[in-house]
A and B are shown apart, each in its own frame.
Chain A
Amino acid sequence: MSKFKINVNGKSHKVNVDGDMPLLWVLRDELGYTGTKYGCGRGLCGSCTVHLDGDATRACMTPIENADEGNIVTIEGLSNDNSHPIQKAWVKHEVSQCGYCQPGQMMTAAALLDRNPSPDDEDIDNAMKMNLCRCGTYDRIRKSIHSASKDK
Chain B
Amino acid sequence: MAYNRRDFLKVTSSAGVGLIIGVVLPYKKRLIAAGIVEDSFEPNVWIKIQSNNIINIVTAKSEMGQHIRTSIPMIVAEELEADWSHVNVVQADSHPDKYGSQSTGGSGSIRRSYMRLRKAGATARELLIKAASIKWDVPAEECKAHMSKVIHSKSKRSFKFGDLVSLAGTLNPPKEPNLKNEKDFKIIGNSMPGLDTHSRVNGSAKFGLDIRLPNMLYATVLQCQTFGGSIKSFKAKK
Contact = CB atoms under 8 A, between A and B. Distances in A.
B210 interface: yes
B55 to A, nearest CB: 21
Nearest to B209: A38
Contacts of B67: 97
Given A34-B210, A97-B67, A102 B198 contact: no
A82 B207 contact: no
A94 interface: yes
Contact of A87 (B63, B193, B201): B201
Interface string B201-213: 1111111011010
Main secondary structure of the interface of B (DSSP, over half): loop
Most B CB atoms within 10 A — which of A33, A98, A106?
A98
Contact of B200 (A32, A33, A78, A96): A96
Interface string A67-94: 0000000111011001000010011001
A90 B63 CA distance: 19
Nearest to A81: B202
A119 B189 CA distance: 35
Nearest to B192: A94
A51 to B, nearest CB: 13
A76 B203 contact: yes
Contact of A96 (B194, B204, B209, B212): B194
Contacts of B202: 35, 75-76, 78-79, 82, 87
Contacts of B193: 94
Nearest to A80: B202
B64 interface: yes
Contacts of B212: 32
Contact of B65 (A36, A75, A87, A97): A97
A82 B209 contact: no
Contacts of B204: 35, 76
Interface residues of A, number: 26
A103 B198 CA distance: 12
B197 interface: yes
Interface string B178-196: 0000000000000001101
A37 B209 CA distance: 8
A76 B201 CA distance: 9
Contacts of B200: 90, 96, 99, 102
Nearest to A106: B201
> Which of B64, B66, B203 counts the most A-chain CB atoms under 10 A from its CB?
B203
A96 B197 contact: yes
A94 B209 contact: no
Nearest to A90: B201
A82 B210 CA distance: 20
Contacts of A44: none
A36 B197 contact: no
Interface string B99-128: 000000000000000000000000000000
A100 interface: yes
Given A34-B203, A35-B202, A99 B65 contact: yes
Interface of A: 32-38, 74-76, 78-79, 82, 87, 90-91, 94, 96-100, 102-103, 106, 135
